[in-house]
Chain A
Amino acid sequence: NAGVTQTPKFQVLKTGQSMTLQCAQDMNHEYMSWYRQDPGMGLRLIHYSVGAGITDQGEVPNGYNVSRSTTEDFPLRLLSAAPSQTSVYFCASSYDRRQARDSYNSPLHFGNGTRLTVT
């Protein structure tokens, strides 16, 4: 199994450009999420999904959109890039708590990240 795959690994955008960060998992996980990591701020949740067709906002959703048309894929779209969105983005997945009682505390599996720079 590949686990959680993120593409691209690096990206440079100009202010105002849009792009999509891809995330795919092959573990049949229901729960998927996007975090951004900034120095001194840890990881902050952007959006998450508990299954195909279901998405919700996290702590810092502004400027980002997501969709979940399949169980495997959870792309993150930057609508109009801003320098404040310069960050490292991580996608993560886990068994959803609805599947089984123990799944509520199943660990998150992370991708290797996308380093985004907005100039």
Chain B
Amino acid sequence: AQSVAQPEDQVNVAEGNPLTVKCTYSVSGNPYLFWYVQYPNRGLQFLLKYITGDNLVKGSYGFEAEFNKSQTSFHLKKPSALVSDSALYFCAVRDRGSQGNLIFGKGTKLSVKP
């Protein structure tokens, strides 16, 4: 069965510093991977996806993610964090065996301090 894991419940970063939010996956075959962000009292918003091709994927709001097949990881990164990046971040994988529904990780809370 497909699954994703986000090993950190919370990540704390100072504004201006680089940030990384970790995600590892377990799939059979080639993975389809996604990152979403949730701001308080809002629904999730799509950030980026990896389907195939370049291992470094660029997305919205200056975020990017690095796909590493050997480590089965898809970490979210940003070179310089903003206070406004503080939110809940979800990694997701497409479940090939279930009409392609998305399976979400448990989420990582990112806190960026000024």
> In whole angstroms, how far apart are the Cα atoms of A109 and B102 in the complex?
12
Q: 1/0 per position for A52-70, CB-CB distance to B under 8 A?
A: 0000101000000000000
What are the residues of chain B within 8 A of A90 when measuring CB–CB?
A: 43-44
What are the residues of chain B within 8 A of A35 when measuring CB–CB?
A: 104
Contact at B41–A108, with CB atoms within 8 Å? no
Indicate if B45 sits at the interface (CB-CB under 8 A). Answer: yes
Interface footprint category on B: 20 to 34
Contact of A107 among B34, B104, B105, B107 (CB under 8 A): B34
Contact at A97–B49, with CB atoms within 8 Å? no
What are the residues of chain B within 8 A of A117 when measuring CB–CB?
A: none
A residues apposed to B, CB below 8 Å: 4, 33, 35, 40-45, 48, 50, 56, 58, 90, 92, 97, 104-105, 107-113
Beyond A4-B43, A44-B104, A104-B32, 8 additional contacts (C-beta under 8 Å) are: A40-B9, A42-B90, A45-B101, A56-B99, A92-B44, A109-B46, A112-B43, A113-B43
